Amino acid sequence: MTEKKLPSLAVAGATGAVGTVMCELLSSRENKFGDITLLASNRSAGKKISVRGEELTVRPIAPEAFDGVDIAMFVGPDEISKEYAPIAASRGAIAVDNSQVFRMDPDVPLVVPEINPELARNRPKGIIANANCTTLTMIVAIYPLHREYGLRELVVSSYQAASGAGQAGADTLHDQLAKVAGDISIGTRPGNIRQAIGDDTGPFPAPLAMNVVPWAGSLSDGGWSSEELKIRNESRKILGLPDLKVAATCVRVPVVTGHSVALHAIFGSEVTADGARGVLRGAPGVILVDDPAAGEFPTPADAVGTDPCWTGRIRRSLDDPRALDLFISGDNLRKGAALNTLQIAELVTEELTA
């Protein structure tokens, strides 16, 4: 029997923060693709990037770049996904999109392979969406608990890294840290962090170095930010719980890479901390780190560069036997973006080569 040819792949946005991680993942994971094409803006076209030990030249993104491509992954700006993902689909590629553009489209599945891999086969528009990085930080750990106890409500506080705002976010934090380094008076008097940094705060509305900023995203109705509404809406869609009660507060913290979330989760049945640990121990995509007495709990410094959702600080609520409090950290550029997108593409590959 003739072995089926591996599907060809295009990566749109290959030179950005997520695209860089994607190229690393393509080189380190089991190879499930045939020819790979790297695409980016005209400004980045011509760059050379090593993938799977081969030096590839980045091509400019254009409609004809998707001709003959089986799977197209979009890991760049929203505007690129909005314009080119439908074009890629119209030219025969299956588009896997990391942007927010298609997530809530009822005709586009929102897929997390550890939770709902079967939805990847149902794509009326030829597009599969990837969830927001903060949602992905927590949802892989929440799902097995939901399956066991029946999730009813979520209260989420996020601690989001600078790189969640793209390469500009990470660069801004590094620049700000350089400006305040060595001055022990910084942060001891009103306004002196901003004075040291200046008016250019990059993609953030306030200085991030030696500070936290209780805002991520754009302003939505009622004072909610777009990031907070993404957590609510995407969690409902991924878990298949359209009436799930979710309240989120999103905060930027001076971490380069690695989102964290503190969760208060209320379930339909009684839950214990030991029971929750038993559910999470060995759950796909989860690593349990929960021994506070030994100083062991999740931090972004541990999670960065790794694939799992690091989960710990598991406590049953003091006031509700149906509620748990826990803390989760994950690499927002890996599972939160590039890895989940790639895992979806690998699901499609399995389908195409079956």
Checking DSSP bridges between strand 36-40 and strand 9-12, what pairing results, if any? parallel
The answer to whether residue 146 is catalytic is no
- From the candidates 23, 133, 250, 309, which is the catalytic residue? 133
Phi/psi of residue 128, nearest 5 degrees:
-120, 135
Per-residue tokens: 205: 């509305």
- What order of strands is seen across the sheet that includes strand 59-60? 59-60, 36-40, 9-12, 71-74, 94-97, 127-129
The answer to whether residue 174 is catalytic is no
- From the candidates 23, 146, 250, 259, which is the catalytic residue? 259
CB 345 within 8 A of CB 353: no
Orientation angle between helical segments 133-149 and 273-280, nearest 10 degrees: 110
Checking DSSP bridges between strand 48-51 and strand 36-40, what pairing results, if any? unpaired
CA distance 171 to 116: 35
- The DSSP call for residue 163 is G
Chain position carrying tokens 């409902």: 236
Provide the β-strand partners of residue 96: 73, 128
Contacts of residue 167, defined as CB under 8 A and 6 or more positions apart, other chains included, come to 16, 17
∠ at Cα 132 (155, 271), nearest 5°? 35
- The DSSP call for residue 162 is G
Residues noted as catalytic: 133, 259
